[in-house]
Structure formats: C-alpha cells, structure tokens
Structure 1
C-alpha cells in the first residue's frame, strides 16, 4: 500500500510539469553557460564574445572567446582555449585582429593578447606591464594599442612601478592612511593607486603612460572612468572621462568631465564642465561617429535631486560645438547606445516597466522613438557594425532565457538568435514566464509589478506569496535571468513570487524615480504592501494567510523597515540591509547622497532621520527574520547587521544571522551561493511550507 501511495504521488507530481520538464536547482542555475558582452567587427560580419562555463571548483572554470557570423549562417565556435580566461575583446579597424585581456602562462597580472583571425594561429602577448593591462583598443590605423593599468601616481614608467611595489611589500608596517574622503569602495580600501592610460606600438615591449607627470592626476579628486577611453578619429589623441573632485564626496555631489590627451605627450585638455573642479553635469561613454565628425557622450545632468536620468549629448568634432541632446520619452533611463554607420541616427536602449527596449533618434538630437519592444525580456550590450548598411547585435535575455547573442532587425521587427548555449538546458526546466500587472497607489502613481507562478502550477491549488524587493533604489526589477536572486529558484518550493517596481524605481521615468527623495523607506514599503494586496485580489490561487518578504541591499533596507511597521508577513529575509540610517551614513563608502535623500545632515535630525530609521522602531520587532551579510561589504557594512542582530536578540525575535567572511555586497562564490540559497529556502519552508511538486517530492522521499 505504501508503494502504491508513493507511485501516486510521483505520478501526480510529474503530471503537473510540462512534458519532460522539472524544477530548477542551484546546479542548473550556477552551471548554466554565461554569455558576456559582445564586440562586433567594423565590417559587421562577425561578433566575438566571452563565455564563462562555470564550475563549483574555481580552478575548473573556463572563460573563452567565441566567434559567430552575424548572418547566422554558422553556429558560434570557440577561438581561444586558455585556462586564465579572456575578457574585453576589441576588433582592429580592418576586422582581421582581436585584442583581449587574459592571464596566461607565467603572467602574474592580466596582459593584452592579440589574435589574427584572418591568418589563424595562436594569440600573441602584446604587453608585459607589471601592474597588468585591461580594456584594449586598436588605434585607427591598427598599429598601436590603447589600454588601462592601475599604477602608483608617482610612477613615470614600469620600472618605477616595480620599485614602488617592492618598497610597499617590504614595509615593516601595514596601515591605511588618509587625509581626504573617500577611503573605501564596495569591498576594497582605496590604496592610492590610479587608473592610467597607456599606448603601445604592437610588437614593442613597453607602453607609455599618457597621464604620468600631468597636473590632472595630481588633483586630489582624480579618478579615471575605466570604460570611457577612446581613440580620436585621427589617432593623435585619446578622449576619456575622469573626475577631479572625488575628494569632495563627503559634502558635495561629484562628477566626471570629458578630457583629451595627446598621444605625443602633454597635459590633458578639458572638453566639458567649468574651469574649477566643482560638481557639474557628469559625463561618460564618449563615442565617435564613423566619419569622425561627431562626438556622442552620455551626460547625467546636475540637479538638486539624488537621481537624474541619462541623456546623450551630441557635439561637432573637433570643435566641440554643442548640437543638442537625445533623451528617452518621460525621462526614462538610457542603458546603452550605438551610432549608425552613416552617422545619421542613434539606437538607444532604455528602461521601461521591467524591460529594456530599443529606441531610435536622429543624430541631431531630440526625443528617441520606440522601435522595438519584445513581448518578454530585455536587450543589452548594443553594438552596430557594417560599412554602408547597419548590422546591429545585442544580448537578449528574459526571466526564462539566459543571455544569448542576437541580431536585431533594422526596422525594429524583433531579433534572431546567433547563439544558443543555454537553450537546451533551460528547455528541460519548468520556468513560468513573468506576468506584468499595474495598479495605482494611494498617491496616484502607477506601479508596475511582475508575478512568477510556481513550477508545476495547478490553478486549483493555493500557493504562498513571496514578496521580493529589489535593490538600488534607482533600478528596476526586470524580465531578466538573474543569478543572485533567481526568480525561479526562489519560487521552486511552490511559491508565487511578486516583484514590485515601487516608487523610486527607474521603471516609469525620471519623475517617478525622483519622487522617493525625502521618503526613502515608507513610500516604497507602502507600495510593496499595496502590491501584495493587489496580487492577492487578482490571483485567486494566492494564499493570503501565508506571506513572506525578502530583499537585498536597498531591498534589505525595506525588509528591515517592514520589520518595524507591519506584522503581515510570516517571515522576512534581509541581505545587506541597513537597520540604522545614521550608522549607514557614517560607515558606508558614500554618504552625501544619503544626506540629500534625508533632507539634511544627520545632526540636524530632520524628519527622515527621526521617523524613517528602522532601529528607532525596534520596540515593534516581531517577525522571524533571516539576516545575511558579507563581512567585506563596505557599501552596507556588517555593523548594520550586528546592530540589527543585537536588537532582534534583545527583543527575543526568532532570527538567524549568517555572515560570509569572504563575501562583499553580494554572495558571489559557488559554494557560498549554494549555501545561501539553501538557507533561504529552508527559512521560507519553515514559515510558508512547501506546495505543489516540491511538497510531493518531499513526501515521496520520506516514504
């Protein structure tokens, strides 16, 4: 009889899944091939991209470059096979060679390698710099390489760098010493080194530091934007973005300007912004039109707001005469852009209600028009090649599809897959699509939401609700394949998953995101609770008596606010979440934006500091909570976790604290990720139970 019941449960569980499909596991998620950002050849015929084949053993991971023709006539093929892993691929102007960064053989630091795809053969090492090299770019004529390296400011050459590194290593003491702000960033103490630009002729051994000895790098607030360096069209100079006021971050907004430095040597010339290093509009991503007559760049306008949406500025080159701005409708956030080969139009990727869509604008400026809105998912990594006609590629992903390389139709009629590394694996998994819905909150704002149904979904069943809150706050939940908070892995035990783009998200444009200022926790949390009510009203299969909420970073902040303001949730999960606004202001790696968000400095004790600080609500703490932190997190330092834990213990709230000694703001290593997900799933199962296929599987196993 027991065998018969076991068989019934097994058959019932299997019948709830689509034919041949099963519930996702951490192994499925972690071992899924991870396609990186592509580079398109100037002639538009090929795309090259890195792909990580992950492993639970770091030394067994493989990260190689793959090549695919953009017409889709052939499948992708692997073109490198090094254990060190390759990154940052860049094409030469004739579309024959590719430069990339890799750590091979006896390399102590990553170096630049060049492979000739036209002739074949092995990649040749092009640099031997002791401080390592990254982000290569061929000069217009193809004989030189531009790359970046992090060096001591006083070093004039690589011999200086080696000497200074040896002196530092032989010091009889170890100390971090500072005379200005900031001192930390994400998970590292700032060590005084700077990112510099190097130019080297291919075939020669030594690169030349274009910034060594300049007055710009002596500015206390100097910081080079690592993704910004571009050759000028004539190959005689390099244009880049850099800040010169980072040292003022404790009391002022900071910004980056565009600069031009001659390859032959000399002081960089500022192209944007005021003479003095005061905060102004912030510039990034300079890019030239194919004919070299126009310079485009992303600009984030200066205002009294914590958030402003990006625009694209258009300049005549080399005169730098301002020709206008390109913006997205309703001030939506610009994610990426690419210039057509003829220079007459610009394609733009922009955020919209959980997706990233494709827009197009005239090069003269104006509001871009939507040309491509996929039914599901989002685009990223926009690239355009081709001589006369444009060939446009990107990566595409959705909540059910890991990123792949695609070719976009030039008329905006969707895309064609060029790679399919993960498709066979995801086809075996039961991955319900994200469903969007909207409601209007009590303040009259339209709130976007997505709902993920559990695997083996049966409309006759009742399912618990897991409310997941995104970080930022200036970001959005996207219809995307997520590694750190994977929607389907979190709902795998039989939960309906709710993803809300609360006020402050970038999903509905600039004004919607700015509306959070002065209301950093209460307003967004009210939207979270209202969204849960709306989901329960709309979806009869949701069990209103079983709800939990979880989030990381700003989502963790919201979880801690919910701890002090509601008992509607059976449990909470808080990762890297602040519990004390005041402690966060003084210990995070950035502070001034928090001050502006709160309406003034801490000591003035304005309304936000007094009324929207979770620790002040500790008398209300009741809800069981799992608290997790990375000990190397400097964005939300672990002191906030310890303070929260102490308050929970003082209030005798059922809770569990997990601190990962080697992790930072995120849980990134394979073993820790698997353990994190297991602890999250165990915590949810304790308070929500398991339903559907997950419950049947457990019952079957217990027999």
Structure 2
C-alpha cells in the first residue's frame, strides 16, 4: 500500500519554517561542536496534558545536573489560546507524574513523593485559587495513576497490597513485618523473578476508588473478587511495579481496566491482556474481550458511543505483531472489535479523539520519522495531517478541541507543540537557544536494495565543521530492539552527533527486524536473529562507502547496545572489515542469554524451539561459538570495547564477562567497563560522560 503524506513543499509552507522554527536554520551566530554538557544539560520536556476545556496544557520539565542532588523537575503550565510564555507551577525537590485533570478543568491531580512521604502519594492542585497542593492519599504502599470520574467527585487509582491483606491496617502491619525481617533472602515460585534492574517482590496490584477530597477513605475494588485469585492475574510490569490501566465509563458507574490472566505462563507462552469492566459499587469484574490478543490505550469517543483501543494479535509462534487501532460499540454489543487500521501495515504509536471531530488522529513510525495521520471514526478516508517534515512526535494528547504533544529531532531537542488545523506551532522554548549554538546538521536519509531484495532505510550523521572534500572514518551504530527503529530525534544515550563529534560519519541502519516498515519486515529475523541483520548492516556500510566519497572505507567501526550489542558481537565474530567494535549489553551465547535473562519465551520463538531441541540457530548464531573464525582469520580480529551495567537483568553481566574472557583467550585487544550502579542503560550523568569519553578514546586509538 502507499503511505499517505504531504509533499515536502506543502509541509514547509504549512508550518511556516521561514520563521526559523528549526535550529538548523539559525546560522547567524557562531556555533560550536556538540559537547556532553550540551547533550546532558538540555532540559527534558515531558508529555503535555491539555485541560478538558482545551485552554491549558500542563507538563513536566526536568532541569538536569550531573549531581542528582542539584537536579529539579517541576510542573509547568501553558495557555493554549494566547502566546503568553509557560510558567512554573510547582517548586518542590521531588518530581511529579501521572497527571490528570478534573472534568471542569479546575483541579489537577498528580503523583509525587514529598517531604514526609515514604511512598509516592496523590496530590491535588487547585488552579483556580492557587496555593500549595493538597495530599489526597496517605497509603502505606503509595498510590499511582489517578483518574477523575466524569462528574469530578471520585478518583480511581492503582496501589498495591501484600498477599492476604484486606485493609490498610493489614498492609501497614505487613510492611512493618517486611521491614523488620532478620533475613535478606528472596523466595520465588513464579516467573520471572526479576525485571531490568529489580528483583520482584510479593506485592499484588489493585484498583482503588475514593472521593476526590483530602481525608477520604480509599476502597479496594478487586481484592474480594475471584478474578484476582487466578494464578495468572496481574498487570503490565514496569519500573514502578505492575500497572492496571483503568478508565471510567461515561456513566461514572462503571470502570474498565486492562489485566492479564496468564502471567503464570510467561516462561512458555506469550502474555496477553484483556479488557474487563466492573461496577464502582463492587461486584465481580466482567471480561469484555475473549481472545488472546493484548489491549491497551483505552479511550471513549463518538460522544461516549464507542470504546477505542490499541491491540496486538499476540500470534503464537510469531516474534512481532503490528499495533492496530480498533473500536467497539458502547455499551458492548459484540466482543469482536472493528479494526480501523486493518489495511495500514504500520504500528499505531499513539492516537487522540479531539472533541467535536468525527476523526481519530494518530501517529506511526516510518523511515526515521513519526508523523500525524487521521481517518474517520469508521476507519475510512485515511490521510496525512500537518506535521513537521523532519523529526518525531513522541507524545500526543487531546483536551476539548486542542491537540498538544512533544516534537523533537536530532538537532531540535524536545519542545511542546500544538497540532491541528493550523499546523504544528511551537509553544515552548526551553532548549531552542542552546540548540541554536551547536554546529550540527539534520541526518541525511538514503535507501538501498539489500541482497535479499528488501529496501533498507538509513540515516547518515555528519560531524561538526564537516568538509565534503575530506575523508572521514565511518562508525556504524546499531539500534537495539530488534523491534525498534532509528528515529530522527534527540537522544541521551548514543547521541548521534556526540558520537560523530570527534570527526566521524555515523551510519544508522534499519536492518530487517526493525519497526516502521511493516509486519513482515519486523518478523523477518525469526529464525535468523543475528546473521541476516548483520549482513544488511555490512551491505549498508558498503553502500555508504560507495555512495559518499568523503567516507574512508579503510577506517570502519561498528557498535551498539542491547540487540545492537548482540549484533556488534556478531560482527566482530564473523568479519574482519572493522578496525574497532563497541558493545554495550550485548549477548554472547543465545543459550546462556535464554537462561539468565528476564524473558525466555520470545527467544524460543525467534530461534525455532527450546534450547534442548535440534534447532541449529542456538549454536550457529551464538557469537561465542564462532571463536574458530579467529584461527581462520575470518573473525575476532577487531579490538573491542565491552561495557555493561551490573544491575542489568535483561542482558545480564555474564555475557560481558564471557565476551571479555574470550577476547583474552584469543589474544584480541579488549577493554571492559563495568558500571555497578547502572542497569540496561547508562542513566547517571557522570557515568554517561565517562562512557562517551571511553568510546571516543577507543575509536580514536584504532581509527585515527
């Protein structure tokens, strides 16, 4: 199918780029090569939430610092009907999250951990009278994800209990017992026992409802139901524990929520989530969907007559399913939804339902960008909406007729924008001045046809003071995932321009397995997890060297993190073309990774069966088992920089240790960086600065 989008000329006219919205056009001042301080100290603008009347948008802004004690994050508010600057709403040490407006746009609730709070609680801010925010909850295990009822009188939110607890007094007693234990052992009978950088505990997620007033008593909706006694009951796992996405029905008498009932099967089957409803007054939840799909992102539209959602089919035996936009009639007349994007071979990233409109507006990834599109509520008349011609939308929300979100590109750090009929309009300027002082260019896009016949998209990033008459080393940087895509956006980890800064051209390739190119493309790595993608990266390098005369084909390096680290290890194991390799959180042995990671079923699907079967992928595509290539002179020759977070449970540190041991066994130059206080990502400022210094030093040692 053809992806609908505006022509570049039409977009340039519609968004008025002549007014120098983009930092790349601001050439009237002296500019400098990007520094780590430029990357780390850019203000981090959170997703804006517009008020129901469409007059205001509230969002968080983090002012980062290398010392976390000096960093602050607070809420800001911006009028949507005039050009007055955004103003700061809160002035607290902790951060605020999980924003939600009251239906009359007077109150704002959020979650924060303030002085005296042992756990994050719900606070309410009166935007009409001003003053300090009031704490609404004082629960032992805290509260999160508050949602106002349609009449504004009640709040629905998520909290936790310990097994067997029936009241807040019980929870308080259990918490005290946990704190006073004399032993430190953890015990598990469920899988997985850990997630990213956390060992999981025995807390159980629950939904609560309370009057939206200080001192009101919360009521647990789920603990007395049969549903929560099912061995597989639970919510989506996140950094803050399990979540139960919940939504009020239009009548205010019913709540909907998303939950799983097969979490006990995660070691041997794909997990899935279903839609449930239950009366606020209490009772047994009713399962509204009855399949093995996953549903999320619930919203009511069409004046409350339709329930919209995003869904993945969770096809057993497949490694990827596109995310589709669906709708149900409300109240439910059928458990079979209408698939609105059935003919669109892209995953819907986010969607909104502006008031008074008969269209649903959404975004999806394609070829390095994420832009806006829309269709009518019946799933017809698909068309492109006004979007900026570069970069990516990374949040989108509607309030009344207003649509706001965050747009960014690799040379335009995040800012709040208004979207809609009048085209994208920048509402904030937290980072524009600093960005304008940096010598950087927007990435250059190019495609080529791989040997397997697939069209492969790439972006090329050039260093500061770029001179096309010179020759530059090439650094092929590989994205993780593999269900991911290189996006034209500003990033902290593996920032394209900071990697290029010493004088490298950075190549970003969307190998098969990437998102943004359809379901088949993303599924193409099934049974071929490393070799096929790595071959396409090698071909992309060849194409870039052939296409661009300023690239020095004799000075090549490759690197990546997570799945990108897996592929970096494979390239070192199977190729001699690279003078240096950088591998962060990369696996070395598919079988070891299966047994020590926090997820295993998807690895079996991707490799064709369990590790004890006769599937050759487990052995033929494990980097460590290609060590014989060293003696043949066909691999394991490039010096490698290996790094890992000691708290990484997704790609545990044993992979890095095995990698480092193998390099010394083969007498290949190697350096190991271990970050004891980091997980799958390097998230602390000074650690990040050190990481970039080491990467630059490693590349300089072997490329210059």
Give how far 1:237 is off: 2.1
Match for residue 639 of structure 2 among 624, 628, 634: 624
String of CA shifts for 1:109-144, please: whole Å, max 9, x gaps.
111111111222221111111111112111111111
Specify whether residues 156 and 420 from structure 1 end up closer, same or farther in structure 2 by C-alpha distance, changes over 3 A only.
same
Residue 16 of structure 2: aligned partner: none
Residue 349 of structure 2: aligned partner: 335
* SS in structure 2 at match of 1:266: coil
Residue 319 of structure 2: aligned partner: 306
Match for residue 229 of structure 1 among 238, 241, 246: 246
Residue 258 of structure 2: aligned partner: 241
Residue 71 of structure 1: aligned partner: 81
Aligned residues of 2:597 and 2:650 also touching (Cα < 8 A):
yes
Residue 116 of structure 2: aligned partner: 106
RMSD, matched Cα:
1.6
Tell me whether 1:391 sits opposite 2:406 in the alignment: no
Give how far 1:43 is off: 1.1
Q: Which runs of 4+ in 1 moved over 6 A?
A: none
Residue 701 of structure 1: aligned partner: none
Match for residue 579 of structure 1 among 563, 588, 607: 588
Residue 298 of structure 2: aligned partner: 286
Tell me whether 1:649 sits opposite 2:661 in the alignment: no
Aligned residues of 1:72 and 1:418 also touching (Cα < 8 A):
no
Match for residue 486 of structure 1 among 492, 495, 516: 495
Specify whether residues 219 and 113 from structure 1 end up closer, same or farther in structure 2 by C-alpha distance, changes over 3 A only.
same
Tell me whether 1:176 sits opposite 2:176 in the alignment: no
Give how far 1:502 is off: 0.5
Specify whether residues 18 and 645 from structure 1 end up closer, same or farther in structure 2 by C-alpha distance, changes over 3 A only.
farther
Aligned residues of 1:323 and 1:364 also touching (Cα < 8 A):
no
Q: What is the rounded CA distance, in whole Å, between the counterparts of 1:449 and 1:415 in structure 2?
A: 26
Residue 371 of structure 2: aligned partner: 357
Residues 464-475 of structure 1 aligned to structure 2 (within 5 Å): 464-475=473-484
Q: What is the rounded CA distance, in whole Å, between the counterparts of 2:554 and 2:516 in structure 1?
A: 30
Aligned residues of 1:631 and 1:637 also touching (Cα < 8 A):
yes
Residue 614 of structure 1: aligned partner: 623
Residue 295 of structure 1: aligned partner: 307
Residues 131-530 of structure 1 aligned to structure 2 (within 5 Å): 131-203=141-213, 204-225=215-236, 226=243, 228-274=245-291, 280-289=292-301, 291-303=303-315, 304-321=317-334, 322=336, 324-327=338-341, 330-342=344-356, 344-366=358-380, 368-386=382-400, 390-410=401-421, 414-530=423-539
Match for residue 52 of structure 1 among 46, 57, 62: 62
Match for residue 599 of structure 1 among 608, 625, 631: 608
Aligned residues of 2:340 and 2:380 also touching (Cα < 8 A):
yes
Q: What is the rounded CA distance, in whole Å, between the counterparts of 1:370 and 1:561 in structure 2?
A: 40
Give how far 1:263 is off: 1.5
Residue 668 of structure 1: aligned partner: 683
* SS in structure 2 at match of 1:603: coil
Matched residue count:
663
- Unaligned 5+ residue runs, structure 2? 1-26, 237-242, 631-635
Aligned residues of 1:328 and 1:367 also touching (Cα < 8 A):
no
Aligned residues of 1:361 and 1:367 also touching (Cα < 8 A):
yes
Q: What is the rounded CA distance, in whole Å, between the counterparts of 1:448 and 1:513 in structure 2?
A: 13
Aligned residues of 2:568 and 2:581 also touching (Cα < 8 A):
yes
Aligned residues of 2:96 and 2:110 also touching (Cα < 8 A):
yes
Aligned residues of 1:194 and 1:224 also touching (Cα < 8 A):
no
String of CA shifts for 1:417-445, please: whole Å, max 9, x gaps.
01110001111111211111000100110
Q: What is the rounded CA distance, in whole Å, between the counterparts of 1:516 and 1:211 in structure 2?
A: 41
- Unaligned 5+ residue runs, structure 1? 1-16, 275-279, 690-703
Q: What is the rounded CA distance, in whole Å, between the counterparts of 1:456 and 1:506 in structure 2?
A: 33
Give how far 1:673 is off: 1.1
* SS in structure 2 at match of 1:349: strand
Structure 1, 579-588 or 154-163: larger mean CA deviation: 154-163
Residue 8 of structure 1: aligned partner: none
Aligned residues of 1:521 and 1:558 also touching (Cα < 8 A):
yes
Structure 1, 488-497 or 103-112: larger mean CA deviation: 103-112
Give how far 1:84 is off: 1.3
- TM-score, normalization by structure 1: 0.92
Structure 1, 287-296 or 424-433: larger mean CA deviation: 287-296
Structure 1, 345-354 or 146-155: larger mean CA deviation: 146-155
String of CA shifts for 1:573-632, please: whole Å, max 9, x gaps.
000000000000111100011101011111113121131111111233221000001111
Specify whether residues 61 and 328 from structure 1 end up closer, same or farther in structure 2 by C-alpha distance, changes over 3 A only.
farther
String of CA shifts for 1:67-97, please: whole Å, max 9, x gaps.
1112342111101111112112111101111
Structure 1, 308-317 or 203-212: larger mean CA deviation: 203-212
Q: What is the rounded CA distance, in whole Å, between the counterparts of 2:464 and 2:160 in structure 1?
A: 47
Give how far 1:151 is off: 2.5
Structure 1, 616-625 or 40-49: larger mean CA deviation: 616-625
String of CA shifts for 1:244-270, please: whole Å, max 9, x gaps.
101101111110101112221122211
Aligned residues of 2:302 and 2:358 also touching (Cα < 8 A):
no
* SS in structure 1 at match of 2:501: coil
Q: What is the rounded CA distance, in whole Å, between the counterparts of 2:384 and 2:582 in structure 1?
A: 38
* SS in structure 2 at match of 1:59: helix
Q: What is the rounded CA distance, in whole Å, between the counterparts of 2:664 and 2:512 in structure 1?
A: 32
* SS in structure 1 at match of 2:700: helix
String of CA shifts for 1:220-262, please: whole Å, max 9, x gaps.
2222243721111111122111111011011111101011122
Q: What is the rounded CA distance, in whole Å, between the counterparts of 1:262 and 1:344 in structure 2?
A: 29
Q: What is the rounded CA distance, in whole Å, between the counterparts of 2:456 and 2:381 in structure 1?
A: 24
Give how far 1:371 is off: 2.5
Q: What is the rounded CA distance, in whole Å, between the counterparts of 1:139 and 1:517 in structure 2?
A: 45
Structure 1, 159-168 or 285-294: larger mean CA deviation: 285-294
String of CA shifts for 1:29-64, please: whole Å, max 9, x gaps.
111100011111111111100111111111211111
Aligned residues of 2:46 and 2:60 also touching (Cα < 8 A):
yes
Aligned residues of 1:291 and 1:343 also touching (Cα < 8 A):
no
Q: What is the rounded CA distance, in whole Å, between the counterparts of 2:657 and 2:89 in structure 1?
A: 48
* SS in structure 1 at match of 2:627: helix
Residue 127 of structure 2: aligned partner: 117
Give how far 1:171 is off: 2.0
Give how far 1:409 is off: 2.8
Q: What is the rounded CA distance, in whole Å, between the counterparts of 1:532 and 1:217 in structure 2?
A: 52
Q: What is the rounded CA distance, in whole Å, between the counterparts of 1:382 and 1:337 in structure 2?
A: 7
Residue 648 of structure 2: aligned partner: 633
Q: What is the rounded CA distance, in whole Å, between the counterparts of 1:30 and 1:320 in structure 2?
A: 51
Structure 1, 426-435 or 149-158: larger mean CA deviation: 149-158
Aligned residues of 1:328 and 1:350 also touching (Cα < 8 A):
no
Residue 566 of structure 2: aligned partner: 557
* SS in structure 2 at match of 1:524: helix
